[in-house]
C-alpha cells in the first residue's frame, strides 16, 4: 500500500535518512523502531510531505507522492498523528476533532465517525467543550488519535503514541490501535517503546542512524538477540 | 474643560479610537497567523483611500457603489502583496520577510507618488457623512457617529467569521501550529491569503472613513496611522484581536484627551503613542491582553 524506495533526507548538512526502503502492506500493522535521532519521525514527515526528500521515491497505492501536497495525501487517506501530539491547545476538544475532518464534506459520515471516536474514547465526549490544552497527557494522546481517525484514514501513521504516558494508558492506546487495524485501517507505527510495538506488529523495521539495520516479523525481532540487547533492555 | 467640550472630545476620541482599532486588527491578524509584522499595512490603508477617491471622482458611481468596489480592490491588493512579497519567503528566515515587508511599504508609497501624484487631493464631500449633528450642546460631524457604528459591525462580523465558520476554525488552527494544520488537510496558503484579504479590507474601510473625517489624501498618509496602529496592536498584545481593539481605543483616547487637557502639548501628539508603547513594553512586554509565549519543546 505504501512503498518507500531508497529514501534520503538532508537537513542542512545532516544526512538524516540514508537511502531507506520499506513497505507497508494493506491491512497490516508495520512498526519502525529505533533510538532517539535515528530518523523515525523524519521518515514519517517525508512520507506526508512535511519535509522534502533529497532522493528516493515514495508511493502510496502505487502512485508516486512526489507532486502531491500534504493536503492531497491526507484527503486520499494517508494520515499522520504526529510526534508530540500537536493538538491545538487553545481550541476545544470538539473543534480539534472537527479539524481532523476538515477536508471532508460528507456530513452524515463525519457525525458517524465522531460517534465512533467517542465510543473508542468516552473521555473525549465527556470533555468535548473543554480546551484541549487542559487535558491530561493521556487524554491529549487519545485526542490526537481520535483527530487522526476523523480524517477517515486508510493508512494511519502514528509517531510515538506512547511518549510520556503511564503503562496502563500505553496498553489502552495500543489496544485501540489493534481495534482500528481490525476494522480495516492499515497502520504504520513509529515507536521507541520497542516491546509494546513489536508485540502488536505484523512486520517491523529497525532504524539506526538513518539506515534500516534489521527487518522481520514482530515475533522474530522480539526473539532477536541484537534487538533484545539494544532495545528491550535485556542482557 | 467644561462638560460640553469634554463630550465633544469624547466623541472625537471614540471615532479616532475606532479607526485605529480597525487598522490595528489587520496587523494583529497577520501576525497571529504568520508571526510577521506587515509593514505595508499602513500603505494598504493609503491605497484603499485613493481607490475610494478615484472610484467616486473618476467614475459616475454613487458612493454606496464606489466604496464596496474600492474595498474589494483593497482586499485584492493585500492578497496580491502576500502572494508576491511574502509567500515566496515563507521558509526563509524571519528577517528576510521583514525586509521584504519594509520594501513593499516603500514600493507602495513611491508607486503612490508616481501614480496619484505627490500633491494632496481632497476627498469629495458626501452629504450623509458630512452634515453636522447636534446632540444637546455637542455638535459632531455625522461621520464621527458612523465610524464607531461601522467599527462595531466589522468587529461582530470578524468575530463571527473567526469563531463560527470553518475558515475561522482553520485560521485559528494555522495561527497555533502551521504544520499541524497542514496535517489536518487545511489549505494553509488559502487561509493565509484569506487573512490578508480580510485585514486589508478592514484597512480599506478604515482608510475610507479616515479620509471622510480628515478629507485630505496624500501618498504618505499611511505612514503615521500605520505606525500608530502597529503600536496599538503591540500594546494590546499582538496576535490578539480584542487586544488590538483595546490598544486602538486606548491610543485614540490618549491622543485626543492629552491634547484637550494640555493644549501646549499639541505639537507632541504623535509622540504619545511611542511613550505609551515604551511604558507598556517595560511593564508587560506581551501586551495588555497578550499571553506569555510558551516555548514549544
Domain boundaries, chain B: 3-283
Query: Three-state SS across chain A?
Result: CEEEEEEEEEECCEEEEEEEEEEECCCCEEEEEECCCCCHHHHHHHHHCCCCCCEEEEEECCEECCCCCHHHHHHCCEEEECCCCCCCCCCEHHHHHHHHCCCCCCHHHHHHHHHHHHHHCHHHHHCCCCEHHHCCHHHHHHHHHHHHHCCCCCEEEEECCCCCCCHHHHHHHHHHHHHHHHCCCEEEEEECCHHHHHHHCCEEEEEECCEEEEEEEHHHHHHCHHHHHHCCCCC
DSSP for B133-200, please give it.
Answer: EEETTEEEEHHHHHHHHHHHHHHHHHHHHHHHSHHHHHHHHHHH-HHHHHHTT--HHHHHHHHHHHHH
- Mean pLDDT value across residues B274-287: 90
Q: In this complex, do A70 and B182 lie within 8 Å of one another by their Cβ atoms? A: yes
Of residues B170, B184, B187, nearest to A100 (C-beta): B184
The ipTM value here is 0.89
Percent of chain A with pLDDT over 70: 99
Strand order in the sheet with A14-24: A14-24, A2-11, A55-60, A63-64
Band (B295; pLDDT cuts 50, 70, 90): very low
Cβ proximity of A43 and A32 under 8 Å: yes
- Mean pLDDT value across residues A45-60: 91
Distance (Å) of CA A35 to CA A174, B54, B73: 20, 65, 54
Residues 6+ apart with CB under 8 A from B119: B218
| B182 neighbourhood in chain A, CB within 8 Å | 50, 70-71
| B181 neighbourhood in chain A, CB within 8 Å | 99
Residue B180 has pLDDT above 70, yes or no: yes
Q: What is the mean pLDDT of chain B?
A: 91
A70 touches chain B (CB under 8 A): yes
Cβ proximity of B176 and B43 under 8 Å: no
B172 touches chain A (CB under 8 A): yes
Per-residue pLDDT reduced to its tens digit, B64-122: 999 999 999 999 999 999 999 999 998 899 899 999 999 999 999 999 999 999 899 99
Percent of chain B with pLDDT over 70: 98
Specify whether domain B3-283 bears CATH 1.10.3470. yes
Domains with residue ranges and CATH for chain A: 2-230 (3.40.50.300)
Cβ proximity of A223 and A59 under 8 Å: no
Percent of chain A with pLDDT over 90: 58
Cβ-Cβ pairs closer than 8 A, A with B, add up to 60
Q: In this complex, do A99 and B170 lie within 8 Å of one another by their Cβ atoms? A: yes
A84 touches chain B (CB under 8 A): yes
CA distance B45 to B226: 8
- Nearest chain A residue (CA) to B294: A89
> A47-51, A173-177, B10-14, B135-139: which range is least confident on average?
B135-139
| A147 neighbourhood in chain B, CB within 8 Å | 184
| B164 neighbourhood in chain A, CB within 8 Å | none
Quote the pLDDT of residue B7: 86
Per-residue pLDDT reduced to its tens digit, B142-164: 888 899 999 999 999 999 999 99
Of residues A87, A90, A102, nearest to B185 (C-beta): A102
Amino acid at each position: 500500500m505504501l512503498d518507500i524506495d531508497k529514501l534520503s533526507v538532508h537537513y542542512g548538512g545532516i544526512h538524516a535518512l540514508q537511502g531507506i526502503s520499506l513497505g507497508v502492506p494493506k491491512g497490516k500493522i508495520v512498526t519502525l523502531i529505533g533510538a532517539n535521532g535515528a530518523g523515525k519521525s523524519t521518515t514519517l514527515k517525508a512520507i506526508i510531505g512535511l519535509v522534502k526528500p533529497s532522493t528516493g521515491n515514495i508511493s502510496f497505492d502505487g502512485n508516486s507522492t512526489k507532486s502531491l501536497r500534504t493536503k492531497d495525501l491526507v484527503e486520499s487517506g494517508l494520515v499522520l498523528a504526529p510526534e508530540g501530539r500537536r493538538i491545538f491547545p487553545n481550541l476545544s476538544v470538539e473543534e480539534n476533532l472537527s479539524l481532523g475532518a476538515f477536508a471532508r464534506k460528507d456530513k452524515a459520515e463525519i457525525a458517524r465517525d465522531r460517534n465512533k471516536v467517542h465510543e473508542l474514547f468516552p473521555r473525549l465526549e465527556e470533555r468535548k467543550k473543554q480546551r484541549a490544552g487542559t487535558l491530561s497527557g493521556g487524554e491529549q494522546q487519545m485526542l490526537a488519535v481520535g483527530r487522526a481517525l476523523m480524517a477517515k484514514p486508510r493508512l494511519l501513521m502514528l509517531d510515538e503514541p506512547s511518549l510520556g504516558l503511564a503503562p496502563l494508558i500505553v496498553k489502552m492506546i495500543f489496544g485501540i490501535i489493534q481495534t482500528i487495524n481490525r476494522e480495516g485501517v492499515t497502520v504504520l507505527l513509529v515507536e521507541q517503546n520497542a516491546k509494546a510495538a513489536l508485540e502488536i506488529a505484523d512486520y517491523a523495521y529497525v532504524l539506526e542512524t538513518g539506515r534500516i539495520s534489521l527487518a522481520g516479523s514482530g515475533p522474530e525481532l522480539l526473539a532477536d538477540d541484537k534487538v533484545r540487547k539494544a532495545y528491550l533492555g535485556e542482557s | 474643560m467644561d462638560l460640553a467640550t469634554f463630550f465633544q472630545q469624547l466623541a472625537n476620541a471614540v471615532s479616532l479610537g475606532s479607526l485605529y482599532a480597525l487598522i490595528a486588527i489587520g496587523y494583529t491578524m497577520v501576525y497571529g497567523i504568520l508571526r510577521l509584522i506587515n509593514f505595508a499595512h499602513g500603505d494598504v490603508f493609503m491605497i484603499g483611500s485613493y481607490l475610494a477617491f478615484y472610484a467616486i471622482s473618476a467614475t459616475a458611481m454613487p458612493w454606496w457603489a464606489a466604496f464596496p468596489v474600492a474595498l474589494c480592490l483593497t482586499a485584492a491588493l493585500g492578497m496580491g502583496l502576500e502572494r508576491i512579497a511574502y509567500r515566496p519567503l515563507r521558509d526563509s528566515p524571519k528577517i528576510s520577510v521583514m525586509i521584504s515587508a519594509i520594501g513593499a511599504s516603500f514600493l507602495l508609497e513611491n508607486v503612490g507618488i508616481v501614480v496619484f501624484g505627490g500633491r494632496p487631493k481632497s476627498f469629495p464631500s458626501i452629504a450623509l457623512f458630512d452634515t453636522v449633528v447636534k446632540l444637546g450642546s455637542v455638535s459632531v460631524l455625522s461621520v464621527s457617529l458612523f465610524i464607531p457604528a461601522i467599527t462595531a459591525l466589522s468587529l461582530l462580523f470578524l468575530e463571527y467569521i473567526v469563531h463560527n465558520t470553518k475558515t475561522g476554525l482553520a485560521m485559528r488552527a494555522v495561527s497555533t501550529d502551521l504544520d499541524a494544520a497542514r496535517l489536518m488537510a487545511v489549505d494553509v496558503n488559502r487561509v493565509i491569503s484569506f487573512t490578508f484579504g480580510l485585514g486589508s479590507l478592514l484597512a480599506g474601510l478604515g482608510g475610507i472613513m479616515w479620509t471622510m473625517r480628515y478629507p485630505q489624501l496624500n501618498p504618505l498618509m499611511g505612514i503615521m496611522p500605520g505606525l500608530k496602529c502597529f503600536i496599538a496592536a503591540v500594546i494590546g498584545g499582538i496576535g490578539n484581536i480584542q487586544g488590538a481593539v483595546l490598544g486602538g481605543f486606548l491610543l485614540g483616547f490618549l491622543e485626543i484627551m492629552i491634547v484637550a487637557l494640555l493644549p501646549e502639548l499639541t505639537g507632541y501628539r504623535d509622540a504619545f503613542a511611542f511613550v505609551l508603547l515604551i511604558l507598556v513594553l517595560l511593564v508587560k512586554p506581551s501586551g495588555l491582553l497578550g499571553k506569555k509565549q510558551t516555548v514549544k519543546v
